[in-house]
Chains A and B, each alone.
Chain A
Amino acid sequence: NAGVTQTPKFRILKIGQSMTLQCAQDMNHNYMYWYRQDPGMGLKLIYYSVGAGITDKGEVPNGYNVSRSTTEDFPLRLELAAPSQTSVYFCASGLTGELFFGEGSRLTVL
């Protein structure tokens, strides 16, 4: 099993550009989460999903969109990148609250 795979690992965006962070898991987990972590800070929940076709907002959803068309994939979309979205993004999956995290995607918006 590959676990939770995030791509890309690093990305630099210009202000106003759009991009999608990919997250895939091969453990057949129903629950999937997206977090962001700013330098020196804790994790902030952006969006989560309890199963295919179901998504819900977390603490900081503004500026992001998600979809969950399959159990395996949970992409995070940034429509108009802003410098405030410079962060490390972590995707996680689990059957319950025991989550498995990806290695993170480091995004810089200039």
Chain B
Amino acid sequence: DAKTTQPTSMDCAEGRAANLPCNHSTISGNEYVYWYRQIHSQGPQYIIHGLKNNETNEMASLIITEDRKSSTLILPHATLRDTAVYYCTGDKLIFGQGTTLQVKP
């Protein structure tokens, strides 16, 4: 499974784009990258996943570098409800510490 590294915390102004990085330099060639978030103490929620190409859905966009060693989750217009812990993970679905995103008014 890909070992992932994420910043511990980030701040973002409400209405601005939030860009959350993840390093996964050990990811294998056919292994997907998944992003989840956990709001307060609820169960984690799936956001998006990708393999090589950039992906977009109604929640977020995922940019994966060409060498696949890192990715960035983009929340285009962050709201206060996006305040959460964000996790990136590989196919084994082993979660690290994640990034605590605080969206501020």
Q: Tell me whether B43 and A45 are in contact (CB under 8 A).
A: no
Cross-interface CB contact of B44 among A43, A58, A59, A97, cutoff 8 Å: A43
Given contacts A97-B32, A97-B34, A97-B93, contact A42 B98 (CB under 8 A): yes
How many interface residues does B have (CB within 8 Å)? 21
Shortest C-beta distance, A83 to chain B (Å), equals 20
Tell me if B96 counts as interface (CB < 8 A to partner A). Answer: yes
Q: Tell me whether A42 and B87 are in contact (CB under 8 A).
A: yes
Cα A90 to Cα B34 in complex, Å, equals 18
Shortest C-beta distance, B66 to chain A (Å), equals 22
- Interface SS of A by simple majority: strand
Given contacts A43-B87, A103-B42, A104-B41, contact A97 B97 (CB under 8 A): no
How many interface residues does A have (CB within 8 Å)? 22
Q: Tell me whether A58 and B42 are in contact (CB under 8 A).
A: no
Q: Mark B86-105, 1 if CB is under 8 A from A, else 0.
A: 01010111111110000000
